Amino acid sequence: MGVAWSSRAAAKRDVRVAVIGDHGTGKSSLVATITTGRFPDQDDGVARVLPPARLPVTIVDTSSREVEIYLECSALHRIKVDEVFYCAQMAVLHPTTPLFDKATRSIKPRCMMAFQQIFSLYDRDKDGAVSDAEMNAFLVRCFKVSLQPAEIADMKRVVQQHMIGGVNDNGLITFIVFLYLHVVFIAKGREETTWAVLRKFGYDNELVHGFSWWPRALALQRRPIS
C-alpha cells in the first residue's frame, strides 16, 4: 500500500492525498482511523462508486524515484498513522525534489542559483563572504531571530573545525557555509527551513522567482548603435 500526493495542489493551498494499494491491504482502515480517531468495525465498508466493469489500463513509466519516503504503520494499533499523512503533506508543501538530487547527494543547479542570488543580497562588497551584522540581518528577515556575538563566534569555531574555507582570513562566513547549512537541513528532513528562506525571497515550488519585490532596482541603459 502506498500514499501518493499531488504537487499541483500546493499552489491552491490544499493537498490531495491518494491512498493506493491492493484489496485488503488496509486503505479504508487507514483513512477511517485518521478521520475518526478509531479503528473501523468489520461491518464498516466502502460503498462501490462505480459498477464492475472492464477498463483499459494505461501504464506510464517515468525515470523518477517511485518511493520518496517509507514508513511502517498500523491503523489497528494507531502506530504512525498521523505521520503517514503528515509526510504526504510535507512532500507537497516542502518538496525535496526541486532542492536536492538524492542520487548524487548534491544541491540541484537551480537551487544553487537561488541561494547565490539570496547570498549576494547580503554580500554587499562581493567578496564571497558576509559580516556578522549581515548574517544577523539575514536571520532576522527569514526567522525573526538574531545571534549574539558569542553565539556567532561559537558557530565560526565549529565551522573552522569541520569545513575548510568556511571562514575566510578576515573571520567572515563564506557562501560555502551558507550552502552547507541548507544541505544539512535537507539531509535531516528539515526541508521546511530551507523553503522558509526561499519563499521569503519570492521563490515558488519550482524555484521560479517573482522579481516584482526584488530590493535592488534593475537599471537598463541604452548604448548608442555603432
Report pLDDT digits (tens) over 201-216: 989 888 887 655 555 5
The hierarchical CATH code for the domain 100-213 is 1.10.238.10
State the alpha helices, DSSP H only, in the chain. 27-36, 81-93, 109-122, 132-143, 149-162, 175-187, 191-200
Q: Coil, strand, or helix at residue 84?
A: helix
Average pLDDT over residues 212-224: 49
CA distance 125 to 203: 24
Report pLDDT digits (tens) over 139-167: 999 999 999 999 999 988 988 888 888 89
Comparing CA positions, the residue from 98, 137, 118 lying closest to residue 214 is 118
Question: How much is the pTM?
Answer: 0.70
Domain limits, the chain: 2-93, 100-213
In this model, does residue 2 exceed pLDDT 70? Answer: no
pLDDT band for 118, please (50, 70, 90 cuts).
very high
- List residues bridging with 3 in a β-sheet: 19
Percent of the chain with pLDDT over 90: 26
